[in-house]
Chains A and B, each alone.
Chain A
Amino acid sequence: MTALLLAEFRDPETLIAAARRAREAGWKGLDAHTPFAVPELVEALGLPPARIRPIMLGAGVAAAVLTFALCWYSAVISYPLNLGGRPLNSWPTFLVLCFEAGVLAAALAGFVAFFAFSGLPRLHHPLFAARDFDRASQDAFFLAVQDPKVDAGRLALLLDGLGPVSVREVAQ
């Protein structure tokens, strides 16, 4: 099994520089662990785009169309009710419900897609056993490398001059 290496930094700026170096070295299996979002890492690590919004849009439109179909079917075919001679297909009044249903479905779809794409929930992970990894959610910034041709020595060499707090291999 390929070794999982962790390099710890004290600030996000150095982590970004380290991530750029690792990517330029052509290494695979790069990731970072930070206590808050560092948007530059997406580019620095070369992460694929998060294709989550098209799913939300699709779900929202589908729910809106379905809601309209439901309203139309019940008001025109299943349960026609003459209210002061107004048309049965009074479509503008259906649109409020279509909007609410569309937004709700898009939000639910985004929520589910977030968990599906991120591999969560996953309560156990080798990383949680790594020393000081509990600080990745507080004030430490980690670069993770999982590449068959890289060991701790090569990673330390690559990070020369960036001053990582530690470079370690995670027991798996």
Chain B
Amino acid sequence: MSPRGGGTEGLLPRSTSYGALVGLVADALMRRNVGWRWYAAFGVTLAMTLMLAGCVTWLFLRGLGIFGNNTAVVWGFPIANYVWWIGIGNAGTFISAALLLTRQPWRAAINRFAEVMTIFAVAIAGLFPILHLGRPEYAYWLAPYPNVMGLWPQWRSALVWDFAAIISYLIFSLLFWYLGLIPDMATLRDRARTRLGQVAYGVLAMGWRGSARHWQLHDAVYRALAVMALPLVVSVHSVAAMDFSASPMPGWQETIFPPYFVVGALFSGFGMVIVLTALVRLGLGLQAVITPRHFEVMGKIVLACSIGMGLSYATEWFYAWSLGSRAELVHLHKLFGGEYTPLYLTMLACNLLAPQILWIPQARRNILVVVCVAIVLNVGMWLERILIIWNTLSHGHLPSMWSVFWPSIFDWLVLAGSLGFFAMMFLCFARLLPAVAMHDLGKLLRERRKES
């Protein structure tokens, strides 16, 4: 990943000790006063969360008509938001597991909050299809349960697969995250000075004693989970892609969709991790263990994903052109000469052009540049998700049905509210739980001492 290979250089302060690394992460949590910035951020995101709750209540009372969805573009914002959030959610567990298995030393400082990002993002993503149901009270009909109607779910439907994939991935990610958290809970239990802290962290630590037997079992389960996490992540976003590609719509019915969505998920997920890494680094004062090298390596991955996205777009265009079907050709013409073309070109610029600056080594090492690219590409990825829906559904097989999508105010409020909800949960996490895996930092320090 780096010219310095798997070395630990530039990842830890020059002179440090096991105790100092633990203190660096744990002391921020033990502080009683966190400063007005945290409270201000919490207040704003809480207000956004309440706004989301209000919008959802209104949605349940009034129905789907409050959104901009029309008879042709039936999928609108909720499904685009769902795909965007699940894409972000794909990266966290994947990053943590893939970097563990490939023994990347820079995993230690970022895996914990990447996993948390996954859990929150997948949980939010899972809400959107339910909000979009129109009759959300029947969402549980997707599950096979004994019922007096004698009905079963339709196993051949990608939507049923999607339901199973989201639930499995969410539970799996929770288990994976919590298992990695247990030793750190023991550390906090032993450092906590208040009775409440000792009891709360002590219960979460489950009586962990750091015994060699504990660690051996922990390692065996954790690594086995990491091995399973990789195909699981690929399956989750592949299934999300099949929601589209298993339909006969122009622009959707393509075999490139599952890999194209998986690359896009890693792309936006790494983008979100970069943004969160910068925030955690600044907010918790972790400049010593989250270094420019982390941003450099993540910048390289983003660059690689951007090229993958470019290949996917080109494959899409080539398919549409080479198939020669009228609907596919119309779709291609509408991409570059339709109502949404300015947005489509913006999307291409965000996803394909902006990351190219990361070819320059100085830009990769500049945290501000990498973060700006990450924000831009996440905007681009959201545009991509909404345009996949708009471009296809606005110009379907039947020209008399063509119509343009105009978002309503509730579309925007729910999107903003979901971002606020995510940020609020992340703020709570950063305040209450260790944002960096302390035991992984200890392992990293031991590795460095053995190197020298």
Tell me whether A104 and B439 are in contact in the complex, defined as CB-CB below 8 angstroms, given that A32-B211, A42-B212 are known contacts.
no
Please indicate which of the listed interface residues B175, B213, B231 has the most CB atoms of chain A within 10 Å of its own CB.
B213
B356 at the interface (CB under 8 A from A): no
> Across the interface, do B155 and A94 meet the contact criterion of CB distance under 8 Å?
yes
A contact residues around B446 at 8 Å (CB): 12, 36, 38
Contact with B along A51-91 (1 / 0, CB 8 A): 01100100000000000001100110011010100100010
- B333: CB under 8 A from chain A? no
A139 to nearest B CB, angstroms? 4
Which residues of B sit under 8 angstroms from A120, Cβ to Cβ?
206-208, 214
CB proximity of B17 to chain A, nearest CB, Å: 7
Whether B144 contacts A137 by the Cβ 8 Å rule is no
Q: Cβ of A107: which chain B residues have Cβ within 8 Å of it?
A: 171-172, 175-176, 225, 228
Q: Once the chains bind, are A56 and B215 in contact (CB under 8 Å)?
A: no
Q: Is A165 an interface residue (CB 8 A)?
A: no
B203 contacts partner chain A, Cβ-Cβ < 8 Å? yes
Residues of B within 8 A of A (CB): 17-19, 22, 144, 150-152, 154-156, 160-161, 164-165, 167-168, 171-172, 175-176, 179, 183, 186-187, 189-191, 202-203, 206-221, 224-225, 228, 231-232, 235, 239, 438-440, 442-443, 446, 449
Which 3 pairs show the lowest CB-CB distances between chains A and B?
A139-B19, A134-B190, A121-B206
A residues apposed to B, CB below 8 Å = 11-12, 31-39, 41-42, 45, 47, 50, 52-53, 56, 70-71, 74-75, 78-79, 81, 83, 86, 90, 93-94, 96-97, 99-101, 103-104, 106-108, 110-111, 113-115, 117-118, 120-125, 127-128, 134-139, 144
Structural contact, B164 and A97, CB atoms closer than 8 A: yes
Listed by A's residue number, 23 A-B pairs whose Cβ atoms lie within 8 Å are: A31-B211, A33-B211, A37-B439, A38-B212, A39-B219, A41-B212, A45-B212, A52-B221, A79-B150, A86-B156, A94-B155, A99-B235, A103-B228, A107-B171, A108-B171, A114-B217, A118-B213, A120-B214, A123-B206, A127-B209, A137-B210, A138-B190, A139-B18
- Contact across chains for B442 and A36 when beta carbons are under 8 A apart: yes
Residues of chain B within 8 A (CB-CB) of A144 are 211
Q: Check if B164 sits within 8 Å of A138, measured CB to CB.
A: no
Shortest Cβ distance from B450 into A: residue: A13
Assess whether B187 is in contact with A115, with CB atoms less than 8 Å apart.
no
> Which B residues lie within 8 Å of A86 (CB)?
156
Measured between C-beta atoms, what is the minimum distance from B302 to chain A in Å? Answer: 28
Cβ-defined contact, A100 with B189, below 8 A: no
Q: A97: which of B155, B172, B189, B210 is its contact (CB, 8 Å)?
A: B155
A122 CB, nearest partner CB in chain B, Å? 4
